[in-house]
A = this chain, B = another copy of it.
């Protein structure tokens, strides 16, 4: 199962960059990026988009990864997760109209 941290760590390694370099480029402290890569902290939406742009990753893919991490985290110790997701789906569909 993938997650946001893995995606950006792999992208960085593929490009052979150090945290320091990415940090300078994106204006984000390298300690924080380290935590993002280990899923210890959640980035803001803006930061997600910065990573997508910089690493040339698909914006949507990265956002989905990030948001689903968040949702999964919120529901982690709920045994009602299935029901919740189904209900949420209905609500979102409904709102669209």
> Interface stretch among A6-14, A15-23, A24-32, A70-78?
A70-78
Q: How many copies does the complex hold?
A: 2
Decide: A95 near B72, CB < 8 A? Known: A65-B87, A85-B88, A90-B1: yes
User: Which A residues lie at the B interface, using CB under 8 A?
Assistant: 1, 3, 60, 63-65, 67-72, 74-76, 78, 80-85, 87-92, 94-95
Q: List 28 A-B contacts (CB under 8 A).
A: A1-B91, A60-B80, A60-B83, A63-B80, A64-B83, A64-B87, A65-B87, A67-B74, A67-B75, A67-B78, A67-B84, A67-B88, A68-B83, A68-B87, A68-B88, A69-B91, A70-B74, A71-B74, A71-B84, A71-B85, A72-B88, A72-B91, A72-B95, A75-B88, A76-B92, A81-B89, A82-B89, A85-B88
